[in-house]
Amino acid sequence: MSSAAAKAAPAPSPPKEWTLEPETEYRFELDPGTSLAIKLVRGHAEVFGAELAEGKTYLFAHECKAAVFTYQGCTIEMSCIPSTEYVSDETPMYPYANVHIALEKMRLLARDAHHGSPPSGTEADSEPPRVLVIGPENAGKTTVCKTLANYAVRAGQDWAPVYINVDPGEGGWTVPGSISATSISAPLTTASPAHPLGNAATSAPTTLTSNALLPIVYWYGHSETKRNPLLLDRQIRNLGENVNERHEVDAEGRAAGLIVDTPSSFAASSSSSGADHRLMLIRACVDAFRINVILVVGHEKLNVEMQRTYGNRINVVKIPKSGGVVDLDPPYRHRIHNYQLHAYFYGHPINPPPGLPTSANATAGGESAMETNLSPSSSVISFDDLTIYRIGEKSMAPSSALPIGATRSVSEMQPVKVDPASPGSGVLNAMLALLAPPNPDDNERYDEEVLDLQVAGFLAVTSIDVPRRRMTVLSPGPGSFAGRTAIMGSFEWTES
Amino acid sequence: MSMYSQVPAYQQTSYPVHGYPPQAPSYAYPSTSAIYPVDPSTFRRDYSARLAELTENSRPVIQGLSLYAQDYSRWADVAVSCIESHIRRVPPWMKLPAFYLIDAISKNVYEPFGPIFGSRVSPLFLESYDQVDPSTRTKMEEMLLTWRNGGPNGRQLFGAGVQSALERQLWGSGATPETSRRDFIAKAQVLGELNTTLNQTQQKLQINPYDTEARNTLAILQQLRSVVEDGVSQQHLVEIRSELHSLARPPPLLSAAPVAPALYPSAATYPPPVSYSHDRGTPMPPVPHSGTSYPPAPKPVVPSSEPSSSYTGLLSAPAPSGPVAVPSNISSLLDTLAKAGWGSSGGTPVGAGTTAPVSQAEAEADPSREAAREYREAIFSENIKFTSTDITKTKPNIVHILYDRLPVQCKQCGIRFPDTTQGKKTMESHLDVHFRQNRRAHQNLGRGHSRSWFVGVEDWVHDVSASSKGKESADPSRPLNVKVVAAAEAAKRGAELRAQSVVVPPGDEAKHIACPICKETLKSEFNEDDEEWVWRNAVKAEDGRIFHATCHADALSSLSTSTALVARLRQGLADGSRSGTPDDPSSRVVKSKSPSPASNLGKRKIDTDFTAVKVEDGTPPSKKLMLSATA
């Protein structure tokens, strides 16, 4: 399958060509600090459902692990040889395509119903697809979601499905620790795990709509769902309310449906300690987003479990997992978190691999690399300007681990005010979620309102001056933080 | 009007046939007559200054520069050296328009510019070619192909030597047809020519989707391309190329015939270049300097009438009979190509052209509904049950749904569109978005960007603009955020204000007049409809002073009374008198009527411009509002 010429020439940067047979994919994994340029020489190819334009050079970096798939066969040219690369002819793309077509049928029926066409079936038949994707760790859940979203926007029907990420361990278009939703109207490209699902909007002009997403964001603050499942449950339901409200406003756009990407802990085997909360969180998602399709990625037992619980009212479908998924170890996930945090403030510039001619006009997923440099602003603020809360105790054992009869002094959902001056406050280097302003109407205010406010942006505390009661915060852009509220989580900012 | 370079405002191929009427009354440039260069150095300075305006592919600018050069053809070498140094100096993305200028001057005027450019164009072309991006390269290649027979009597525009040298540099050892017909021809060269012809045919189809000839030709050309891509022998390459050349050869009957004045396109409805592609070899004798031969600013005609006529008599020469060794598929392809699309001769070309749009209107009664129906059929014909077993067993025709159904692809980001009139339109507006973003990116070079703050719940819930794919003309029935509507209205009001104009009094063309509020010079431009010079975004106050319409409206609309304004206006008054506007006591009327906070003065005009740009770019206004709310 590979061209023999490449192996014969170990020169510094031999442009290497792969010719892919139809229905195969080229998979690669990058080492830290390396980047790769891929050009589609001829044929058609896509990366996780986003089509590559012929003749354009695409850059990949930050330990990106991705695959170039082709239905019709193609030739691609590589700038260098990644640490791991191979071609596979076993892909689950046809099952995924079938799922896409099934979802398209639902969308078309839903649109017909909206336009007042005679209903062709029962009431349930005209509901747009609202898909929950669950599966164990390293099953390729996000890849499935991304591919399905990309196929939907490529249909040329002006679909703009709402993509919901409830996996706090995955930043998506924001930072890890948050859960968020955004409407997708253009294919989500792949360039770097720092932005696996496109990019939240910046002030820079972007070529791709998927790099100017307008998400709504809630801050859970931890990467593990078991850390505070009650909080996550509440935020999932908040997010669901927003999404439903939006779909009521936009009845036409509602037909495109929604896709929910979930954390792997939703599928953890029942023997593990997280079992008690995961069913609760799945229930929260099903209720909040009015799920009518559950896709279980490569997990027999989970499929059976879901069939039993929801099979009578929700279409539960098991889909195969890709053989190309990579087992991600905790250090890798930690590095990805740092990439994502860093990319939030500074963008994600990708240095082209050495030897790539500048005339190649390389782009990061179709975005010119130049535009991805961001300048955050750093400002010194008084301790009194910003009110910082932590939700629940700093380190909290699960309720089940408490002695029988014991109750917490601080409940899981109680906002605890953090004094940056107190030793061990943990504010230094903490990531803070700056909350949106609370309801201006005092009558509408309530004690736990901070739990339900969405995020306006993220801050990082880079230094603290206790004697003068001042701290330096890094913010995405200039702004005043006086009188604002921020929530602390367990994520720390390290300047790299 | 699409401003994106794929549908360029200026197309080099189309010039010859029109023979741009020099000194046509409607295009006279009063400004040049006002400042009459009397010596070469003045001319050099003026010409360089005007060249600096050539930052994008703008037809009026290129025309203006071309005419200006023609008027001073006695200093042709000065103009040529100006253009040359301009191309060397500007950044790569500004080079192509300048080459279009060279192309325009050489093809339309030829003497004495052609030979002068001929001696210099080669290194210039190659240097620039190395610096520009791939899409611009394609454009330059296309332009180079038109130079093959762009000169008088269908000869090479800059001479055979220059042409073959350039082609050799670009496509390797492929040589010009004249020098070595049987020599090695690079596959890339043939592919390039094929693509050019393909594009032209596609554009022809775009004008008239019911042109079955063009459709057949397109299909054959596409097959040919895939054959060539797979690799064919030298002989076949030679044959394919000679066929392509014969397609491009100008029909003899058209070479002498003047173009009907009615076909002369106005700037606004300039038909895509393909309509005239086969006339590119038409000899371009310098048009006599008589401004009377063409009526000024004629009405645009149905563009599709021209292509049919220009195809008349094309390829009356049969396709060269290939060698016996040619595999049947290629020779048959070439045969069909010669017979079907290109060989046909329409009896009454004009009639054929005019009937086409009618049938088109009938057939495409509701193209969008038709397209939606087809998509439904494609989706529902896939008989898949949404179950775990079914989705792994069946193999859908996903390639059709994702790829073949949508043959028109954006080369920037790979997004596809259906090959329908509607799809083309969507594609065009999509490309416009790219174009504006690229322009903004260029303008923003070196400026810092930052992550935006996230939107608030209200804005997110009501933000449906994201689902309209950047289309500004969103369905009015869709509920829109009040703020969005307000912003759109403000933008519309701004646009209306900016469209206001004041006719420049005769003799004042050269005068620079500043707006008394913002102190910036009013821009004058030539209004082609009224054939008059006007100040844009201008309004004449009762006292006769000229304001920016936007500044004036701001001042009027503001209700607060500020003494700062009075002071400022008084100062403006003084400025006005300095610039020769009579200081009339009646101006106080304006003053008392237009109290405005000081903040309204100064740079407000720029602010409103900025708002308009933002909205036009499809930036959801909610984001801005949110930004300002957080700041």
Instruction: Spell out which residues of chain A touch residue B380, defining contact as CB-CB under 8 Å.
Output: 105, 108
Cα A282 from chain centre? 18
Nearest alpha carbon to residue B596 among B565, B573, B567 = B565
| Position B380 confidence tier, pLDDT thresholds 50, 70, 90 | confident
What secondary structure does DSSP assign to A260-309, as a single string?
A: EE--GGGG--TTSTTHHHHHHHHHHHHHHTT--EEEEES-HHHHHHHHHH
The pLDDT of residue B283 is above 70: no
* Structural domains for chain A: 93-319 (3.40.50.300), 377-492 (2.40.30.330)
Q: What is the mean pLDDT of residues B349-361?
A: 39
Question: How far is residue A418 CA from its own chain's centroid?
Answer: 29
Give the Å distances, CA to CA, from A297 to A91, A282, B73, B165: 14, 15, 74, 60
Stretch B444-452: mean pLDDT, rounded? 73
Contact A71 B416 (CB under 8 A): no
- A252 contact residues in B (CB cutoff 8 A): 467, 475, 478
- Report pLDDT for B301: 39
pLDDT tier at A432, thresholds 50, 70, 90: very high
Report chain B's mean pLDDT, rounded to a whole number: 63
pLDDT at A366: 58
pLDDT at A6 exceeding the cut of 90:
no
Most confident residue range from A131-135, A426-430, B58-62: A131-135
Six token digits for residue A23: 């229905």
Helix (H, G, I), strand (E, B) or coil at A182: strand
Q: Buried b / exposed e across B15-25, counting CB within 10 Å, b at 16+? A: bbbbbbbbebe
Q: Which residue has the higher pLDDT, B451 or B627?
A: B451
| Residues of chain B neighbouring A217 (CB-CB closer than 8 A) | 454
Higher-confidence residue: A166 or B560? A166
Q: What is the pLDDT of residue B277?
A: 35
When the pLDDT of each residue in chain A is averaged and rounded to a whole number, the result is: 85
pLDDT confidence of residue B350: 37
Start-end of H helices in A115-177: 141-154
**Residue with the larger pLDDT of the pair A135 and B539:** A135
Q: Do B399 and A72 touch (CB under 8 A)?
A: yes
> Highest mean pLDDT range out of B145-154, B186-195, B462-471?
B145-154
Poorest-confidence range of A300-309, B165-174, B424-433?
B165-174
Give pLDDT, residue A380: 94
Which of chain A's residues have a Cβ under 8 Å away from the Cβ of B133?
359, 361
pLDDT at B482 over 60: no
Cα gap A88→A91, rounded to integer Å: 7
Instruction: Please write down the HEC assignment for all residues of A426-440.
Output: CCCCEEEEEECCCCC
Which residues, including other chains, have CB under 8 Å from residue B497's CB and lie 6 or more apart? B537, B549, B550, B553
d(CA B358, CA B467): 34
Considering only CA atoms, give the Rg of chain B: 28
Mean pLDDT across B302-325: 37
The whole-angstrom separation of Cα B73 and Cα B68 is 9
The predicted-structure confidence for A336-366, as pLDDT tens digits, reads as follows 999 999 989 988 777 777 766 655 566 666 5
* Residue-wise pLDDT tens digits, B135-158: 888 888 888 888 887 777 777 888
Mean pLDDT of A292-305: 92
CB neighbours of residue A144 within 10 Å? 27
Label residue B488 by pLDDT band (50, 70, 90): low
Mutation site, B391, B434, B475, interface A, largest A CB count within 10 A? B391
Contacts of A109 (CB under 8 A, 6+ apart): A120, A121, A125, A126
Contact check, Cβ <8 Å, B478/A252: yes
Interface test with A, best of B413, B430, B435, B455 (most A CBs within 10 A): B413
Q: How far is B611 from chain A (nearest CA, A)?
A: 14
pLDDT digits (tens, 9 = 90+) for A385-423: 999 999 987 665 566 666 676 666 677 788 889 999 888
Any idea which of B140-144, B462-466, B532-536 has the lowest mean pLDDT? B462-466
Q: Where are the beta strands (DSSP E) in A80-161?
A: 84-88, 130-134
Give helix B482-499 / helix B621-630 axis angle, nearest 10°: 100
Whether the full predicted model's pTM is greater than 0.95, yes or no, is no
B480: pLDDT strictly greater than 80: no
Predicted confidence (pLDDT) at residue A382 exceeds the cutoff of 50: yes
- More confident site: A252 or B578: A252
Please tell me the predicted confidence (pLDDT) of residue B123: 85
Tokens 């000869």 locate to B155
pLDDT-wise least confident of A396-405, B176-185, B235-244, B372-381: B176-185
In whole angstroms, give the CA distance from residue B314 to residue B345: 7
Instruction: Report how far residue B523's alpha carbon sits from residue B538's, in angstroms, rounded to the nearest whole number.
Output: 9
Residue A228: other Cβ atoms inside 10 A: 25
pLDDT at position B299 over 60 = no
Q: What is the pLDDT of residue A62?
A: 86
Using CA coordinates, name the residue in chain B closest to A215.
Answer: B454
Residue B183 reports pLDDT greater than 50 = no
C-alpha dihedral sign at A230, A236, A242, A248: negative
pLDDT(B348) > 50: no
Q: Is there a contact between A203 and B450 if contact means CB atoms under 8 Å apart?
A: yes
CA dist B100 and B88 (Å) reads 15
Instruction: Please report which confidence band the pLDDT of residue B366 belongs to, taking 50, 70 and 90 as the band edges.
Output: low
Per-residue pLDDT, A284: 94
The pLDDT of residue A259: 96
What is the pLDDT, as a whole number, of residue B477?
35
- Cβ atoms A321, A137 nearer than 8 A: no
Q: Please determine, for residue B420, whether its predicted confidence score (pLDDT) is greater than 80.
A: yes
What is the rounded CA–CA span in Å between residue B601 and residue B570? 13
**Average pLDDT in the B118-138 region?**
85
Longest dimension (CA), chain B: 93
Q: Give this complex's ipTM.
A: 0.88
pLDDT > 80? residue A173: yes
Block residue for tokens 């990805």: A336
